[in-house]
């Protein structure tokens, strides 16, 4: 169980130790905190602050079966909320509270990356997908019988790749070690040049040139360098990295090793989001297989001094850790708070060492370019955006799943391919991305047009777009790291105002407030989470004004309390019930835009 027992204790492993304790004890007790504090020489308060930060860590026990329903909008559209109510009812348990006998807890969590096979849940960190009423009933029975998870039906835990369109990346398999042999035969400079010629840009969404990043890190003055694979695929609606880690892990790891060989790094990390913990065993096995095949470890392919080792670190339910500076903080065992830049990670990253942080897809693509050449890649795509892009398509379409498209493909072509029926909107690049409406469907997937890290959620014309807005508003209020005021306070204010609107209590004034706060967040937040957290609001304000207007009360202003109820005590004391003893709410004034 303890993955770290064979290596000496390190304070940067704090988060990893905490995750193990949480898994073992179902919470992190005061005694565990004290023990860690002594052993690692870290103040107990600091350990507690780390526990508080991560959603999957708790100081009070969860149930023996800890169930978290994925709460992305696509799960909700597939009926997750009703299924959760059904399970709570059948188990007689309240959402969020462990049952009195400690058997089970039922709660929600941010998107678990199973949007193409949702609704989904995590049970003790293992995903169960394709939930329906019958499956929920079986789950309730198994829990009541206290059946160990290993004896549950295997089909519950089946995760499908659902690749519906493969282009060069998913069809061209490289032989194990091809990229590394090319590196050893042709030299680091040639390979770096090749990746530069291929115009490869980061696939996480920001689109920074990969070769430039690698070169800057290579040039940084240091004795040791680090390669990090960002597998914290937390953006709601994205799941392509999950498929790559499940079925193409060899190429991802070879991409990391290639990077290490080029920049001169000896140590690497895969930062795997806690929701993908179920992939841990297969990834560890793959690492071992590659060590045995001399593709990883010391003296790779018998090249003296080509040493590279990879550790897998788990996240613990924090969306912000997908941001690279927050991810590096988390890797060091801290709270995942984004850091000021510069210095950029390429010069000062993990524990102050020059660090390359790349997305899973970027590393796999780099591995393929090394074997197939730069033309293989630039033959596809547009002038500014070379190659292909993996999209995770979910929502209202007949065939949700993974689609690989050349950059420059239009949104409308993609909607036809995935079988979207009467789409009114596409949320591209996740909750932090853009909400495209019908007239924008001619736009193209590319850095220079509709840029995306891979999330592509489809909403048909029967959907109320305010459902999406409310889901994202709650998501950001929950995921804000709390460091800067515009984001911490703004995301909660927006969430409250959207709730007010949702229940038809809001007025035009509240809409003005929402917009004002959204703009403050966009301009004043510390990191990308805050600056993008209100995109969905501002986009839907423009593209779907009806979704807001029809929910408004038809007045400019609503009192903060029930005026007539505020006279109830005086009425009771005086025994009066005449007309003047009541406050009549006036008929709604006409709506003034």
Specify the residue, 8 or 575, whose C-beta has the smaller distance to other proteins. 575
Q: Which stretch binds other proteins (CB under 8 A): 41-49, 165-173, 427-435, 581-589?
A: 581-589
Antiparallel, parallel or unpaired: β 401-406 and 267-272: unpaired
Q: Is 554 in the site for other proteins (CB under 8 A)?
A: no
Q: Is 570 in the site for other proteins (CB under 8 A)?
A: yes
Q: Which stretch binds other proteins (CB under 8 A): 34-42, 194-202, 486-494, 552-560?
A: 552-560
CA distance 514 to 540: 12
Q: Kindly state the smallest distance separating residue 592's Cβ from other proteins, in Å.
A: 11
Q: Which stretch binds other proteins (CB under 8 A): 62-70, 170-178, 368-376, 580-588?
A: 580-588
Choice from 586, 587, 590, 593 touching other proteins (CB under 8 A): 586
Choice from 144, 550, 563, 588 touching other proteins (CB under 8 A): 563
Q: Is 578 in the site for other proteins (CB under 8 A)?
A: yes
Choice from 148, 575, 587, 590 touching other proteins (CB under 8 A): 575
Q: Binding marks (x or -) toward other proteins, 460..479, rule CB under 8 A?
A: --------------------
Size of the site for other proteins (CB under 8 A): 23
Q: Which residues pair with 456 in a beta bridge?
A: 393, 428
Question: In this structure, are residues 536 and 469 in contact, taking their beta carbons and an 8 Å threshold?
Answer: yes
Q: Is 442 in the site for other proteins (CB under 8 A)?
A: no
Antiparallel, parallel or unpaired: β 309-314 and 267-272: parallel
Q: How many CA atoms lie within 13 A of 426 on its CB side?
A: 34
Specify the residue, 462 or 592, whose C-beta has the smaller distance to other proteins. 592
> ω into residue 226 within 30 of 0, thus cis?
no
Q: Is 416 in the site for other proteins (CB under 8 A)?
A: no
Choice from 10, 542, 557, 588 touching other proteins (CB under 8 A): 557
Specify the residue, 4 or 557, whose C-beta has the smaller distance to other proteins. 557
Q: Binding marks (x or -) toward other proteins, 316..345, rule CB under 8 A?
A: ------------------------------
Q: What angle do CA 204, 208, 213 make, to 5 degrees?
A: 110
Q: Which residues pair with 455 in a beta bridge?
A: 392
Specify the residue, 150 or 580, whose C-beta has the smaller distance to other proteins. 580
CA distance 109 to 278: 16
b/e code 130-150 from CB counts within 10 Å (16+ = b): bbeeebbeebbebbeeeeeee
Specify the residue, 24 or 576, whose C-beta has the smaller distance to other proteins. 576
Q: Is 576 in the site for other proteins (CB under 8 A)?
A: yes
Specify the residue, 100 or 560, whose C-beta has the smaller distance to other proteins. 560
Q: By C-alpha distance, which of 295, 323, 318, 320 is closest to 308?
A: 295
Residues 508 to 527 in contact with other proteins, rule: CB under 8 A: 509
CA distance 553 to 171: 55
Q: Which stretch binds other proteins (CB under 8 A): 58-66, 113-121, 378-386, 555-563?
A: 555-563
Would you call 371 helix, strand, or coil by DSSP? helix
Q: Kindly state the smallest distance separating residue 351's Cβ from other proteins, in Å.
A: 48
Q: Is 560 in the site for other proteins (CB under 8 A)?
A: yes
Q: Which stretch binds other proteins (CB under 8 A): 90-98, 368-376, 495-503, 577-585?
A: 577-585
Q: Which stretch binds other proteins (CB under 8 A): 126-134, 298-306, 446-454, 556-564?
A: 556-564
CA distance 396 to 78: 9
Q: Beta-strand (E) ranges in 364-510?
A: 388-395, 401-406, 423-428, 434-437, 455-460
Q: Is 581 in the site for other proteins (CB under 8 A)?
A: yes
Q: What is the DSSP string of 301-363?
A: GG-TT--BEEEEEE--S-GGGGSHHHHHHHHTTS------SSSPTTTS-GGGS-EEEEEHHHH
Q: Is 591 in the site for other proteins (CB under 8 A)?
A: no
Q: Which stretch binds other proteins (CB under 8 A): 11-19, 38-46, 471-479, 561-569?
A: 561-569
Q: What angle do CA 450, 207, 278 make, to 5 degrees?
A: 95
CA distance 401 to 160: 9
CA distance 30 to 304: 48
Q: Is 561 in the site for other proteins (CB under 8 A)?
A: yes
Q: By C-alpha distance, which of 176, 134, 178 is closest to 155?
A: 134
Q: Is 41 in the site for other proteins (CB under 8 A)?
A: no
Q: Which stretch binds other proteins (CB under 8 A): 113-121, 150-158, 359-367, 554-562?
A: 554-562
Where along the sequence are the contacts to other proteins (CB under 8 A)? 509, 556-557, 559-561, 563, 565-571, 573-576, 578, 580-581, 583, 586
């Amino acid at each position: 169980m303890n993955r770290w027992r064979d290596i000496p204790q390190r304070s940067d492993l704090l988060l990893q130790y905490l995750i193990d304790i949480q898994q073992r004890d179902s919470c992190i007790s005061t005694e565990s905190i004290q023990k860690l504090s002594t052993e690692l020489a870290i103040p107990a308060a600091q350990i507690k602050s780390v526990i508080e930060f991560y959603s999957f860590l708790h100081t009070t026990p969860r149930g023996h079966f800890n169930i978290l329903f994925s709460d992305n909008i696509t799960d909700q559209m597939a009926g997750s909320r009703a299924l959760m109510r059904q399970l709570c009812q059948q188990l007689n348990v309240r959402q969020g509270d462990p049952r009195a006998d400690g058997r089970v807890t039922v709660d929600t969590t941010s998107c678990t990356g199973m949007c193409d096979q949702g609704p989904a849940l995590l049970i003790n960190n293992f995903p169960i997908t394709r939930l329906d009423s019958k499956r929920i009933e079986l789950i309730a029975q198994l829990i009541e019988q206290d059946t160990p998870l290993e004896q549950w039906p295997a089909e519950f835990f089946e995760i499908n790749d659902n690749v519906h369109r493969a282009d060069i990346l998913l069809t061209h398999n490289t032989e194990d070690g091809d990229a590394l042999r090319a590196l050893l035969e042709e030299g680091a400079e040639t390979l770096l040049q090749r990746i530069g010629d291929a115009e490869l840009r980061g696939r996480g969404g920001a689109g920074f040139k990969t070769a430039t990043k690698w070169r800057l890190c290579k040039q940084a003055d240091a004795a040791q360098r680090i390669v990090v694979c960002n597998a914290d695929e937390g953006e709601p609606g994205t799941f392509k990295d999950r498929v790559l880690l499940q079925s193409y892990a060899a190429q991802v790891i070879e991409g990391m090793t290639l990077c290490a060989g080029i920049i001169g790094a000896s140590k690497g990390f895969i930062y795997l989001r806690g929701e993908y913990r179920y992939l841990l065993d297969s990834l560890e096995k793959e690492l071992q297989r590659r060590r045995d095949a001399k593709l990883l470890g010391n003296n790779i392919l018998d090249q003296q001094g080509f040493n590279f080792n990879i550790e897998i670190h788990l996240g613990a339910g924090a969306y912000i850790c997908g941001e690279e500076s927050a991810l590096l903080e988390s890797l060091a065992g801290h709270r995942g708070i984004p850091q000021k830049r510069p210095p950029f990670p390429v010069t000062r990253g993990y524990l102050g060492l020059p660090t390359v942080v790349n997305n899973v897809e970027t590393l796999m693509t780099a591995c393929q370019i090394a074997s197939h050449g730069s033309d293989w890649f630039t033959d596809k795509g547009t002038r500014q955006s070379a190659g292909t892009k993996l999209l995770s398509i979910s929502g209202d379409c007949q065939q949700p799943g993974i689609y690989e498209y050349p950059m420059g493909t239009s949104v409308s072509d993609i909607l036809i391919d995935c079988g979207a029926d009467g789409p009114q909107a596409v949320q591209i690049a996740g909750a932090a991305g853009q909400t495209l409406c019908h007239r924008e469907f001619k736009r193209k997937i590319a850095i220079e047009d509709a840029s995306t890290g891979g999330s592509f959620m489809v909403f048909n014309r029967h959907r109320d777009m305010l459902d999406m807005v409310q889901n994202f508003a709650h998501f950001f209020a929950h995921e804000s790291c709390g460091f800067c005021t515009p984001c911490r306070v703004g995301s909660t204010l927006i969430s409250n105002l959207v709730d007010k609107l949702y229940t038809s209590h809001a007025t035009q004034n509240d809409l003005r407030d929402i917009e004002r706060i959204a703009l403050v967040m966009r301009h004043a937040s510390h990191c990308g989470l805050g600056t993008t957290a209100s995109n969905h609001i501002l986009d839907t304000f423009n593209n779907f004004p009806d979704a807001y207007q029809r929910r408004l009360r038809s007045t400019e202003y609503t009192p903060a309390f029930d005026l007539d109820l505020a006279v109830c005590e005086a009425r009771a004391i005086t025994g009066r019930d005449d007309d003047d003893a009541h406050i009549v709410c006036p008929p709604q004034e006409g709506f003034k835009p």
